[in-house]
Amino acid sequence: MTDPKLTLISHPLCPFVQRAAIILLERNVPFERVDVDLSAKPDWFLDLSPTGKVPVLKVQQPEGGDAILFESVAICEYLNETQANGLLHPGDAVTRARHRAWIDYATQTFAEAWQFLHAKDDVVADAKRTAFRDRLSTIEAALVDGPYFNGADFSLVDAVYAPLFRYFGIIDPLIADPIFAGLPRVTTWRAALAERPSVRDAVIDTYPDLFRDHLRQHGAMIAA
C-alpha cells in the first residue's frame, strides 16, 4: 500500500516543527514542507489550525481529502505509530511511559530556556538561567550512559529535546557553556543530538543567522 502523502506546515524558526521534521527524517518518510508567515497568518492556515500555531500535518487519505493533525507531540506519536523503519518509543511499557513523562517535562524546560534567551535585563536573565539549569540538573539525574536519552538508541524523547539544545550551539559559548558545566550526561546528550543527521537537516542552512536576527529584533540581552 502506498504511504499517504504528508505535508508539514511549518515556520523556519519553530522548534516544535523541528520535532516533527526530525521524526520524518529519522523514518526516511518523504514529505512536503510549507512555511507560513506567523505574523500574518493566511486564512487557509487558520482554517486548518485550531490553535493558530505550527506544526500542522496534512495526511492525504486513501478515500480522498486530508486528515489534519496539530500539536507537535501528537504528530510525532502518529508518525511513530504509522510509518515504517522501526519504532522510536521503547517496547517496554514502563520505559515508554517514562519517556512520555520526560516529553511532558520538556514543556516547562523549553519555557525557562526561551525566557532566558529572550531576557531583556539581568534580573530576568539570572532567574531564568537558574530555573533552566535546575531543570537540566533534574534531567542529568535521569539520564543513563548515553549518548542518547535511553542509551544507544535514538528515540522520540530525543527528537523533542534536540531543538532546545540547538539554541545553545548558536549563542555565544561564553554564555551557553556555563549553563551546562558540571552536567556531563546532558553535555554528552546535547553533543550527540547536534551530530545526528536528522537533527541537522530539520532546519535550513541559514537557521543560525535567522535565530540570531530573531533575538536582536526582540531586544534580547544576549544578542547585544
CA 15, chain centre distance (Å):
4
- Of the candidates 6, 8, 9, 14, the residue annotated as catalytic is 14
d(CA 161, CA 22): 11
- Helical spans, DSSP H, in the chain: 15-26, 43-48, 72-82, 93-117, 122-142, 156-167, 173-180, 184-195, 197-200, 207-217
Cis peptide leading into residue 55 (ω within 30°) = yes
CA-based angle 141:19:37, to the nearest 5?
A: 135
Q: Closest by alpha carbon to 116, among 213, 224, 190, 221? A: 221
The DSSP symbol for 3 reads: P
Cβ-contact 73, 163 below 8 angstroms: no
C-alpha cell at 81: 505509530
d(CA 21, CA 55): 10
> Is 14 one of the catalytic residues?
yes
Q: Report the catalytic residues.
A: 14
